[in-house]
Amino acid sequence: MFSCFPQSALTDVEMQMRGYLGAVRDAELGDLQAAIQRFVRGEVKSGNAQFCPSSAQLCIEVRERRVMRELIARRAASQVLGSSPPHSGGEVARRSRDGEGDTVRDVMAG
């Protein structure tokens, strides 16, 4: 990341590196790599795309990548099991849950 973004002459690269390592020490390597790629490609909306992100910005993006990875894994697992994601909210779900009107299956089929 340091080679892709300019550094101020006053930047202590070693201290910045320590900050990054401390912020992401519990992160999965794949999530960290995905977050760094998004910063390098300019895909992260927060912060200034001309400079290295702060350790907090990097940590936030790493968490976002983890959430996305977990959602994709959950979706894949539910497809393998042949189940669809649970339906929640909305009038049809409430009426079906409360025993009123048509069931969700009847509404979806008709």
Instruction: Dump pLDDT digits (tens) for 10-22.
Output: 778 888 889 999 9
Considering the entire predicted model, what is its pTM?
Answer: 0.65
The total number of structural domains in the chain stands at: 1
Q: How far apart are the C-alpha atoms of 30 and 80, rounded to whole Å?
A: 23
Q: Is residue 8 part of a domain?
A: no
Instruction: Dump pLDDT digits (tens) for 26-81.
Output: 999 999 999 999 999 999 987 678 888 889 999 999 999 999 999 999 999 988 87
98: containing domain:
13-109
Q: Is residue 2 part of a domain?
A: no
Q: How many residues does the chain have?
A: 110
Q: Is residue 31 part of a domain?
A: yes
Q: Is residue 68 part of a domain?
A: yes
Q: How far apart are the C-alpha atoms of 37 and 53, rounded to whole Å?
A: 12
Are 6 and 51 contacting, i.e. CB atoms less than 8 angstroms apart?
yes
Q: Is residue 3 part of a domain?
A: no
